[in-house]
A and B are shown apart, each in its own frame.
Chain A
Amino acid sequence: MSEDPKLSMSIDIENLTKTYDNFAALDDVSLSIKSGEFLSLLGSSGSGKTTLLMALAGFVRPDAGSIRFGGREMIFEPPHKRDVGMMFQSYALFPHMNVFQNVAYPLKLRGYSRADIRLRVEQALATVELDHLIERGITEMSGGQRQRIALARAIVFEPKILLMDEPLSALDKRLRETMQLELRRLHERLGMTVVYVTHDQREALTMSDRIAVMSKGRIRQVDTPINLYERPSNRFVAEFVGESSCLPVTLQDGQVRFQGRPLRASSATAGLKNPSLVVRPEKLQFVTADASDCNLLHGHVTDVIFQGESQLVQIDLGEGMAVAIRRPTRSSASDRLPTRGEAVVLGLHLQDTLVVGDEQ
């Protein structure tokens, strides 16, 4: 993350609210994005992530709140005066212009000289490795090429803020994963502040410095990818990010109990509403009933699923509760898989024993 003020700008969002016919698209959203940071807005459709991005770009006029770029109030500025780079989900490349004209457009509007435009467009297209297609028409381009052209157009004028609205969602899986790494490298090299909207948590985890998880117009947690995954602050985030089972637990006199048995938790549990134990498949292991360094769960196997690099074993804990345990596939013959119906004991390490509550 760079914090060079020549390259990037901070974004401060305060108490932003937007309501459409009794539907709160943005419900009192506050968020500070550091200069040079790559921040993802992660949420399902209707969570408000796109509305927030469009408010930053100036296409959505909020009902109340403040948006500041580098300390300057922007909420009254029309889109064309916000000077941000933008990448649209559908790319929005102009069909009546060729590749060069599309990428040159932001420069033309900013009054660059002909020679300067030529140079910068060539540079931007070289960055996305498409400089050999400069005079081609947009309709001749494939989806992946269009995506790169849109990227070149968004960065050609070296904006200090780059807004991206699910720019990779139209690409196939393999290309998407390649582009995620390329965008990350590009961000490291150019250093602008990036706000990236996505519904794909893996994409957010791969690319971001920090992720803001949104739902129902509100931010549920803002944190680094590792903290978001390892230390979700509430049940919504725990269930939304990564695979997990949330098992209801009871709190009595500061003691956490699961199915009547005491549980040693690693996180503070005082005052949690509807507390639940977060169990992720890869945190569990098969143990013997006398293991002492972890919390134990008892159940029996209902299904064993082969998924290539790993295997998923489904376990019924009784009382209508179930968990899954994931184990990497190894060739070792000693690594015996349990069979359906077998009674097993699962261990969950103390530092992985996380109890969260509903959001308050």
Chain B
Amino acid sequence: MNRTEPGARNARELLKAERRNRWYLFGSGLPALLLVLLTFVLPIGWLFWLSLFDANGQLTVENYTRLLEPIYVLTFVQTFKISIIVTVACVLIGYPYAYFMIKGPRWLANLAMGLLLVSLWTSLLVRTYAWLIILQRRGMANDLLMSLGLTDVPLSLVHNLTGTVVGMVHIMLPFMILPLFASMKSIDPIYNQAAAAFGASPSRAFRDVFLPLSLPGLAAGATLVFVITLGFYVTPALLGGGKVQMISMRIESDVSMYANWGAASSLGVVLLVATLLMLFIVKKSAGLGRRSE
């Protein structure tokens, strides 16, 4: 039989159709690609570009060498320290909260979710000022502590690290709980049943089965909280009372007080790189943990 006849001709046509298809797919993805380029790649590139110029528009690396001064190093250290504290606190409060929403009675779980969402939908500024009022010298928190006899004199709960952390944890909690809740919800209860059937007590089943299966959600929530906290501005600025310095506040003062866009940009670049580095390390170690299990 002649092999160039219909079979071979069809093969050529089919190849063309396949190529057309690929171009079509590329073409339909193009708008999204342009959008990403315009909204993410361009601004970050511009930020990096700006960080290479001083206040007079001269090319320089001064913006970066300046960051080695103790004041900046301290700010970086404090920013990471606060972020770690806030993340750990969110894990400690958020995990039981999400677990309760999964395992608790339906109406209480709905109530817990409702409260969480109302808090999430309330303006950040409103919640921050609310904490300012609650934590002030004659605020509700001190009233409560004194009426319980836990302290004789009002404690300074705000305009310091304590107040900053309390406010930030409250604002960050939904970002911890929501991914955690979603991940716990997807764990089939049959795994706990299986563990019990083979002899695991409820606490043992939690440790061996539920906890490891909820870790991806925990990692997602913790990462989200940590990254957002690194760049947090409003809450630490208001509740810290000038005593808590985070990088975001340095950026703000560089821009608004000194109009030094280069200095502010370099801070942004370093923060971005540090964050990416941190995420990379977390991802690596989590991956190692899973493999060695």
Contact = CB atoms under 8 A, between A and B. Distances in A.
Given A105-B208, A109-B204, A94 B199 contact: no
Contacts of B190: 88, 90, 92
Interface in B158-207: 188, 190-191, 193-202, 204-205
A30 to B, nearest CB: 24
Nearest first, the 10 A-B pairs at minimum CB distance are: A92-B194, A86-B197, A106-B198, A79-B196, A109-B199, A92-B190, A96-B212, A80-B196, A80-B199, A80-B201
Interface in B202-231: 202, 204-205, 208-209, 212-213
Contacts of B204: 80, 109
20 contacts: A59-B196, A59-B197, A80-B196, A80-B198, A80-B199, A80-B202, A83-B199, A86-B197, A88-B193, A88-B194, A90-B190, A92-B190, A92-B194, A94-B191, A94-B195, A96-B213, A96-B293, A105-B198, A109-B198, A109-B199
A213 to B, nearest CB: 26
A84 interface: yes
A79 B208 contact: no
A80 B191 contact: no
A154 B208 CA distance: 18
A189 interface: no
Contacts of B293: 96-97, 101
Contacts of A78: 196, 201
Nearest to A81: B199
- A interface secondary structure, majority: loop
A153 interface: yes
A316 to B, nearest CB: 49
A88 B190 CA distance: 9
A153 B198 contact: yes
Contact of A86 (B191, B194, B212): B194
Contacts of A81: 199
A57 interface: yes
A83 B198 CA distance: 7
Interface string A47-83: 0000000000111000000000000000000111101
Q: Is the interface of B mostly helix, strand, loop or mixed?
A: helix
Contacts, number: 62
Interface string B123-137: 000000000000000
Contacts of A105: 195, 198, 208
A310 B196 CA distance: 48
A79 B191 contact: no
B66 to A, nearest CB: 47
Given A96-B213, A96-B293, A109-B204, A57 B197 contact: yes
Given A95-B213, A96-B212, A96-B293, A106 B191 contact: no
Nearest to A78: B196
Interface string A80-117: 11011010101011111100010001100110000000
Nearest to A101: B293
Given A80-B199, A86-B197, A95-B191, 7 more contacts: A80-B200, A88-B197, A92-B191, A93-B194, A96-B209, A105-B198, A109-B204
Contact of A84 (B191, B193, B197, B212): B197
A81 B199 CA distance: 6
A330 B150 CA distance: 96
Interface string A141-160: 00000000000010001000
Interface in B276-293: 290, 293
Contacts of B188: 90, 92
A149 to B, nearest CB: 12
Contacts of A79: 193, 196-197
A97 B208 CA distance: 10
A120 to B, nearest CB: 14
A59 B212 contact: no
Contacts of B194: 86, 88, 92-94
B209 to A, nearest CB: 6
B291 to A, nearest CB: 10
Contact of B193 (A59, A96, A97): A59
A95 B205 CA distance: 14
Contacts of A92: 188, 190-191, 193-194
A86 B202 CA distance: 17
A189 B2 CA distance: 63
